[in-house]
Amino acid sequence: MKISGFTFIRNGVILGYPFVESIKSILDICDEFIVNVGSSSDNTIDRIKGINSSKIRIIESVWNDKLNIKGYTYAQQKMIAQYSCTGDWLFYLEGDEVVHENDLDKIVHTMKRSNDNKHIEAISFDYFHFYGNHHTIAVSPRWYRREARIIRGDIRTICPDSLFWCVLGKRNTLRGYPRAVHSGAKIYHYGWVRTQEQMNARSKQVQKYWGNAHRDIDYGEVDPRSLSLFEGSHPSVMNHFLPKHAKREIFKTNPNYKLTWREKRHRFLMMLEKTLKMDFSKKHYIPVSNR
């Protein structure tokens, strides 16, 4: 069984991505790692070369900034990397997603156990979405709580955007989301622990790829009930990236913030989730069992 890791990145240093840590977090279990590096204004490509691993293969690309199709540029760059993979299983991580070393064995075990079961097309993960600081996680249904991040290399898939896959069926018709078994592992998503300045710089660059106009981001303008204290440990590769002496507390929000209609809806859904023991967050896969 061969495992390919892959990702894409552009201006990772300027925009505050822990992309080196992301790659390193799964490099040990990969037989190869494909990195599609977009033409950048910083030393992103040098940082990747500095990992100094024979497993890493770099593809250099130029993004089409004229496209105004929601998410398509990201999908294009993701698939450039994916189509260069040669593994039986393809492990995709975005540049701000990291895997804990304690989960690597169970991830490999899930792939091995599922390898001969062709009904299983993907492998899903739980998510920690850190918000504002690395001691706070976002828990409302706005944030996907599970997502597929490993896909079989021998099925035909496309990406409508960088987040998820769709599977092609007979006669190349779009069949739908892949069938995924749960790994029991977690993805640590650090996209919202950048500095606020980095987050706004990122928004100014990326919103055009989603057909949106940039709107200033203020971390404090959020529903405090959507946040919770993180009780676990971080992946060891993040030790030098995260502040060492930050106070262990939930991120402080604006006490005068007025909820949006969407946040009021999410509050109601969280109440229903607690009462009905259900999960109303979005899933881009079909859950299946590996029994």
Which residues are CB-neighbours of 115 under 8 A, at least 6 positions away? 1, 88, 89
Phi, psi at 29, each rounded to 5°: -95, 0
Strand partners, 209: none
Whole-number pLDDT of residue 69: 67
The Cα–Cα gap between 143 and 243 comes to 24
Helices (H), ranges, the chain: 19-27, 44-49, 72-82, 104-114, 196-206, 261-276
The pair of three-digit structure tokens given for residue 63, joined into one six-digit string: 């993004």
Which backbone phi and psi does 181 adopt, to 5 degrees?
Answer: -100, 150
Among 49, 38, 60, 243, which Cα is nearest to 134's? Answer: 243
Q: Measured between alpha carbons, how far is 13 from 16 in angstroms, rounded to an integer? A: 5
DSSP state of 170: G
Instruction: Count the domains in the chain.
Output: 1
Distance of CA 245 to the CA centre of its chain: 26
| Structural contact between residues 205 and 225, judged by C-beta atoms closer than 8 angstroms | no
Number of other residues whose CB lies within 10 A of the CB of residue 230? 18
Return d(Cα 266, Cα 279) in angstroms, integer: 12
pLDDT in the model for residue 105: 98
Residue-range definition of the domain harbouring residue 286: 1-291
Q: CA 26, CA 23: separation in Å to the nearest integer?
A: 6
Q: What is the distance between the alpha carbons of residues 150 and 115, in angstroms, rounded to a whole number?
A: 12
CATH for 150? 3.90.550
Q: Which pTM was predicted?
A: 0.95
What tokens does 182 get? Answer: 């749960």
Q: How far, in Å, CA of 154 to CA of 176, rounded?
A: 16
Residue 290 has what pLDDT? 75
Digit-by-digit pLDDT tens for the chain (291 residues) are 999 999 999 999 999 999 999 999 999 999 999 999 999 999 999 999 999 999 999 999 999 877 766 678 889 999 999 999 999 999 999 999 999 999 999 999 999 999 999 999 999 999 999 999 999 999 999 999 999 999 999 999 999 888 899 999 887 888 999 999 999 999 999 999 988 888 888 888 777 776 677 888 999 999 999 999 999 999 999 999 998 877 899 999 999 999 999 999 999 999 999 999 999 999 999 999 876
Decide: 112 and 200 in contact? Cβ < 8 Å: no
> What does the alpha-carbon distance between residue 231 and residue 208 come to, in Å, rounded to a whole number?
36
Backbone phi and psi for residue 26, each to the nearest 5 degrees, phi listed first? -120, 5
Token duo for residue 240:
């030098």
